[in-house]
Structure 1
């Protein structure tokens, strides 16, 4: 039996592929410095997870898969090179699995996880393989190994690993400046998306509300656009309204009304996410009634407006960390949250805060208070001189405070006298804090 070793196995993308390879019959092991909520699932499948990166761990492996966050000086990388073991990136392994199937790749700066999870949920009836960047409640995991040739995957532009893919169909949710530590500038990101479009063998579904994506789609064959604002798009949402905490809208496809649908997750961005999903579900001959039923039941992927506690105090856990994502999450929240809303934000990476500093201006408009926590470094050094004071000034919210310690956050939540919603936002370990506080409230 071939042995595959994953360096950084607890990462949300890495763990999904590790599980699939184990189910396919490979001997799978890996290492990660920290345990998280996927570690136990990996171990329950018989996957050995080492808590330390040691060269001896890779001995006997036929293939090593390394997360893009792993540096060349990693002792397991060094040992694999010394032993002549082939080393590939996560995106390469995904392409090996996906490119021979009917691949549906979901790309974009924001919305990939929700859109791919929603698509996976709606197409479960046809038994697809799914690899997404979040935990999908319907399958209790970030991946599943299906019996058909339909393969749904999130396509990651952050390190250009999506350029390994040659999908049958692709969705592009938006294109924006992000991960500039890798790309340098927006123009380079656009060039990558052009290549991704050219590598798509069939239909490309492009968000018509994103000028950059729409610009790249002009003049190309096999393009379908979707929109909540552009009436010239092929797939349109109209009559949008919020009733009883549900977002309702009608869908028009190629000029004909297809039906009315409801979402349990808030925000116009989630209507946008739903449009290509509805279109593809229809193409797979899933009935309008079944689509409506599944959409209403869809509660989002883990850490995408994840309601951890709901009473007088509501605790929401959300992955938003880019200014555009923050604005979208707050816009969605304000459609359903009628109480005082406090955003607790953990900035992600010094490089990202530095590159996007000006974009944070006004990004928290709509919440009553903003609490800034220390930057989650993700292993970076602060070579940019980033400070929370600079970020606070740029955000420009009149009720913005800096809180350094988790214990202080817990006290702030516990001392709240009014009905209030606390939005815990960020891509780092702020999620653990949100869960701990929600659990404490539940016990008390």
Structure 2
């Protein structure tokens, strides 16, 4: 996420490294580099102009703290301006109706249907009982896609007559009341472009259901086109906020940095993966930290607490303390880590994490490790000393690896056990977040 923008801003900050203090002369080149970085990221030029003016004014004003070095001062100023641009604080959903109504809108291809399912998953975690409504009768297979997603996440989907979106929505509201669903999520039709027919239909649905939230889903990969569409949708429907999708791809960041300034409406959620739980609440300060390469520890903690089984983590900690950690447990830990997302996502949240990590190699190594352990018998996982040469040959063949790969895994496992012994002797075993042992 924001990798290219992060690298370019890093160059701007390095221009001030080693300087005695911030001055008009030495900040000129750094500000120019920041400006170019934002423009290359496809940030709206008016937003860039206002942002640069704010950074320059604060950099040369009295707000600079004498205890910081010039590059630290500049990073802080840029971070504060980024947070101001992004919205300063998160904007929670305001669901006051019973049942609450959320209308999802956007252009075709933005990920609206998938996002509707992700939002339902997120709301269910908060104790809600959502109903998904398939009101996109124009895109081929849109209704079937939502039905399949509903089955996957075990959330009901109302399809109605599959022909008239207004009738579908009206009947869906009656169904929600009957089944005591407290949130209704309407997946409305998108188009390849904005047209009067599309907007008229959306206005009719909005007038009918009086939604608590009208969320527009925008694709982060489409740059300024998405911002222009957002402006048109907001003028027609009075949006309550945005969901920016595909931030796990090669998005340059321009959409998320421009959209609030252009429309006056906040980003409420961001799509960070294709998984059902790949939707996160948008926190401006955390995203600013990621853009600047400062990490996002709070989001990492949220991920750990949401994905790690506390009881299992406590059991694992006990095994560490008693030095009874076997390869079955090692496999469990890999699964827990995978729940939190890709290695790239996790590293991005850790301040000071190395940038030169072979991420593709790391992901491949994790899959190889899983394959090797899966190829062992339960007895071998619980007692790796049983793995003689012939058994290792069998495991290597079964996992599509080599005996060297198997030996490398066993060596890493032995080193981990030795390390845990040393920690236990010295009383240095640290308790992790919510019992997480790493």
TM over 0.5: no
Bigger fraction of residues in helix? 2
Report the TM-score, using the length of structure 2 for normalisation: 0.26
Higher relative contact order, chain-length normalized (CA < 8 Å, sep 6+) = 2
Bigger fraction of residues in strand? 1
Larger-gyration structure (1/2): 2
Report the TM-score, using the length of structure 1 for normalisation: 0.26
